[in-house]
Amino acid sequence: MTGAMSMNLRGVLAIFAAEMARTRRTILQSVATPVLTTALYFIVFGSAIGSRIQQVGGVSYGAFIVPGLMMLSLLTQSISNASIAIYFPKFTGTVFEILSAPLSYVEVVVGYVGAAATKSVVIGLIILATAALFTPVRVLHPFWMVAFLLLTSVAFSLFGFIVGVWAKNFEQLAIIPALIVTPLTFLGGAFYSIDMLPPAWRTVSLFNPVVYLVSGFRWSFYGLGDVSVQASLGFTAAFIVGCLLFLWWIFRTGWRLKS
Amino acid sequence: MISVAAVTKRYGGMLALDAVDLDIARGEIFALLGPNGAGKTTLISIICGTVSMTSGRVLIGDRDILADYRGARAQVGLVPQEIALDIFSTVWNTVVFSRRLFGRPSDRAYLERLLRDLSLWEKRDARIIELSGGMKRRVMIAKALSHQPEVLFLDEPTAGVDVELRRDMWGLVRRLRDMGVTIILTTHYIEEAEEMADRVGVMKGGRILLVEEKHALMRKLGKRRMTLALDQPLRELPVALADVPLALDHDGRRLVYTFAGSEHGAVPSLLRRLAELGIDYSDLDMTRSSLEDIFVDLVGQRA
């Protein structure tokens, strides 16, 4: 095949389908684990402890933590899915096939990140359905809820892809989600409103990027937010642009992909 | 088919390829020989797009591998040195994946024929993890051929495979060449190059020492050796034969004559002179130096 090929759609779909097939092979790890973990959060925080906590902004505590828990799973799953997706071919050596295929860098990223983000969105929706079993959930702005769901999944799948390219071993692969993302998410208002914090800690929290994601997402559910929805959207968009710029540099230089 | 011009590759301060020039014709089998670290794999990896070059230019079928990477890469299949497969995938799925990755539409008939040719059809539903090493290597070849490339790169294709499989692969490579596929292989087995290649390139220290048609190379650089089993041992070489490069072996019972492969008429002349000197012999043995001997002479070490 030597004819001009403006876009290798089959190649993108091949990567996408292979990644989705990998999820089916590891369905317990990919889907059941986050759902079970979330269910446990609801039992512990929503039912056991939450029943003793007052409403937050007119919303029961169980319902209040739903967007935060969804965001916690979205972030960790997006990063985990996308980072493993590119790290594993690097580890096994099969990445040579991707690098030698007639695929543009954008197409490679769309294939891997698209699959990782799709998985995250599906998991997010499953968690939402699971949450509805434990607490009454309403979505005030469905369009924005879906928009935040998609944007956050894409943003952190892009970030995960970068982590996967950067990682030289499995320890490095796990270190970013475990030591940076999870603490930031827990301290990012997943389980509380930052208005509950003392003023100094509230100010510190505003430097935590996850605050903006959780706040925007919670606003789409209940109309409540720690920061303005514009700030949340702006941050998410800026994060995506930052990741894209970094990825552009990675592919331009071949950093940790090509020697 | 492939034109490599002044390709240089540096890893930090280490010069892996030093302004390499190489042209490969459509439909030929080209063997790249060289000791470890010669730069063979680096050169192949640059042509296939898995390693970036520091400078230079590579064309595949007149398409620049950087400016028109899609057109260039679409023509190429690569079988790398190491077996690298998704071990949880099935043979069929991994081959279909490779074809789609290269943007080719589905063609079950072609892929079935390919797997049958490689004796993999019966294993099409087996997971890679269940296959033997030889089968995995064949799966690598099937993946590289899945998109019907015009050029196939085989980096050490038979390293670590048994003799039978090696012969099978040689047969396959010849069939591919007969179908018009250009084949470039690197190998440590000089026997492999001698058996299959139309032309041979020898690399050392990031440079190409020579590129030559195989038979011409063996004629030009090869040596022949005639060994005579003498009826009576000689203590020393006759003075009358001082102008001939002779040596005595086996306590003077054998006379060894080494001469250039391209030299004609030297043997009858020597035999006549021996008869004149009354030196009789009971047996005569002729050997020709192999490509490996030539290679060792060129690079000073075994491949």
Strand-pair category, B14-24 with B199-204: unpaired
Angle between helix B133-145 and B163-178 (nearest 10)? 10
B104 contact residues in A (CB cutoff 8 A):
1, 10
- For residues B214 and B197, the answer to whether their CB atoms sit within 8 Å is yes
A96 contact residues in B (CB cutoff 8 A):
48, 50, 78, 80, 84
- The 8-class DSSP code of residue A196 comes to G
Rounded mean pLDDT, B168-182: 88
- Digit-coded pLDDT (tens) for B186-227: 987 777 888 889 999 989 999 999 898 888 877 766 778 899
pLDDT at B99 over 50: yes
pLDDT at A3 over 50: no
Of the options 3.40.50.300, 3.30.70.100, 3.40.190.10, 3.40.50.1110, the CATH number for the domain spanning B2-219: 3.40.50.300
Asked if B75 and A1 come within 8 Å (Cβ–Cβ), the reply is yes
Residue type, B181: V
Asked if A15 and B70 come within 8 Å (Cβ–Cβ), the reply is no
pLDDT at A67 over 80: yes
- Tell which of B50, B58, B68 to mutate to test the A interface (max A CBs under 10 Å): B50
CA angle (A202 as vertex; A201, A207 as ends), nearest 5? 90
Residue type, A97: E
B34 — pLDDT class (breaks 50, 70, 90): confident
Interface of B with A in 137-196 (CB under 8 A): 143, 147-148, 150
Largest CA distance in chain B: 77
Rounded mean pLDDT, A92-119: 96
A93 contact residues in B (CB cutoff 8 A):
80, 82, 84
- Tell me the C-alpha distance between B124 and B74, whole Å: 25
- Tell which of B43, B100, B147 to mutate to test the A interface (max A CBs under 10 Å): B100
Helices (H), chain A: 9-25, 27, 33-41, 61-92, 95-100, 105-134, 142-166, 170-176, 182-186, 199-205, 209-222, 229-253
- For residues B147 and B77, the answer to whether their CB atoms sit within 8 Å is yes
Average pLDDT, chain A: 89
- Considering only alpha carbons, which residue of chain A is nearest residue B71? A2
For chain B, what is the HEC assignment?
CEEEEEEEEEECCEEEEEEEEEEECCCCEEEEECCCCCCHHHHHHHHHCCCCCCEEEEEECCEECCCCHHHHHHCEEEECCCCCCCCCCEHHHHHHHHHHHCCCCCCHHHHHHHHHHCCCHHHCCCEHHHCCHHHHHHHHHHHHHCCCCCEEEEECCCCCCCHHHHHHHHHHHHHHHHCCCEEEEEECCHHHHHHHCCEEEEEECCEEEEEEEHHHHHHHHCEEEEEEEECCCCCCCCHHHCCCCEEEECCCCEEEEEEECCCCCHHHHHHHHHHHCCCCEEEEEEEECCHHHHHHHHHCCCC
A99 touches chain B (CB under 8 A): yes
- Tell me the C-alpha distance between B42 and B55, whole Å: 13
pLDDT at B236 over 70: yes
* Closest CA relative to residue B245, chosen from B262, B224, B220, B231: B224
pLDDT at B289 over 80: no
User: What are the φ and ψ backbone dihedral angles of B2, each rounded to 5 degrees?
Assistant: -130, 130
Unique residue bearing structure tokens 């003023």: A199
Domain ranges of chain A: 9-253
* Closest CA relative to residue B286, chosen from B225, B220, B197, B218: B225
- DSSP bridge partners of A206: none
- Tell me the C-alpha distance between A217 and A229, whole Å: 9
pLDDT at A94 over 80: yes
Q: B23 in the Ramachandran plot: left (φ > 0), alpha (ψ -120 to 50) or beta?
A: beta
- Digit-coded pLDDT (tens) for B38-94: 999 999 999 999 999 999 999 999 999 999 999 999 999 999 988 999 999 999 999
- Tell me the C-alpha distance between B154 and B63, whole Å: 21
Distance from CA of A71 to the nearest CA of B (A): 31
Distance from CA of A26 to the nearest CA of B (A): 11
B82 touches chain A (CB under 8 A): yes
pLDDT value of residue A14: 97
- Tell me the C-alpha distance between A72 and A242, whole Å: 21
A8 touches chain B (CB under 8 A): yes
Asked which of A45-49, A112-116, B154-158 is least confident by mean pLDDT, the reply is A45-49
Rounded mean pLDDT, A230-250: 94
Domain ranges of chain B: 2-219, 223-299
- Tell me the C-alpha distance between B37 and A141, whole Å: 62
- Tell me the C-alpha distance between B209 and B22, whole Å: 11
- Digit-coded pLDDT (tens) for B9-31: 999 889 999 999 999 999 999 99
Asked if B102 and A101 come within 8 Å (Cβ–Cβ), the reply is yes
Would you state the structure tokens that stand for residue A155, as one six-digit string? 């943003």
Query: In the β-sheet with B55-60, what is the strand arrangement from edge to edge?
Result: B14-24, B2-11, B55-60, B63-64
B295 — pLDDT class (breaks 50, 70, 90): confident
- Digit-coded pLDDT (tens) for A186-218: 888 888 888 888 888 888 888 898 999 899 999
Rounded mean pLDDT, A49-67: 81
B265 — pLDDT class (breaks 50, 70, 90): confident
- For residues A132 and A126, the answer to whether their CB atoms sit within 8 Å is no
Rounded mean pLDDT, A43-49: 78
pLDDT at B170 over 90: no
Asked if A92 and B93 come within 8 Å (Cβ–Cβ), the reply is no
Q: What Rg do the C-alpha atoms of chain A give, in angstroms?
A: 19
Query: In the β-sheet with B281-288, what is the strand arrangement from edge to edge?
Result: B246-249, B254-260, B223-230, B281-288
pLDDT at A1 over 50: no
Interface of B with A in 97-126 (CB under 8 A): 97-98, 100-105
B26 touches chain A (CB under 8 A): no
- Considering only alpha carbons, which residue of chain A is nearest residue B86? A94
Asked if B103 and A10 come within 8 Å (Cβ–Cβ), the reply is yes
Rounded mean pLDDT, B134-162: 90
Asked if A10 and B63 come within 8 Å (Cβ–Cβ), the reply is no
Q: B162 in the Ramachandran plot: left (φ > 0), alpha (ψ -120 to 50) or beta?
A: beta
B48 touches chain A (CB under 8 A): yes
- Residue A228 neighbours by CB under 8 Å, 6+ apart: none
| C-alpha torsion A149→A152→A155→A159, nearest 10 | -120
- Tell me the C-alpha distance between B8 and B17, whole Å: 5
Burial class (CB in 10 A: 0-12, 13-18, 19+), B223: middle
Rounded mean pLDDT, A144-172: 95
Rounded mean pLDDT, A106-127: 95
Of the options 1.10.150, 3.30.2010, 3.40.390, 3.30.70, the CATH number for the domain spanning B223-299: 3.30.70
B50 contact residues in A (CB cutoff 8 A):
96, 99-100, 258
Rounded mean pLDDT, B174-194: 86
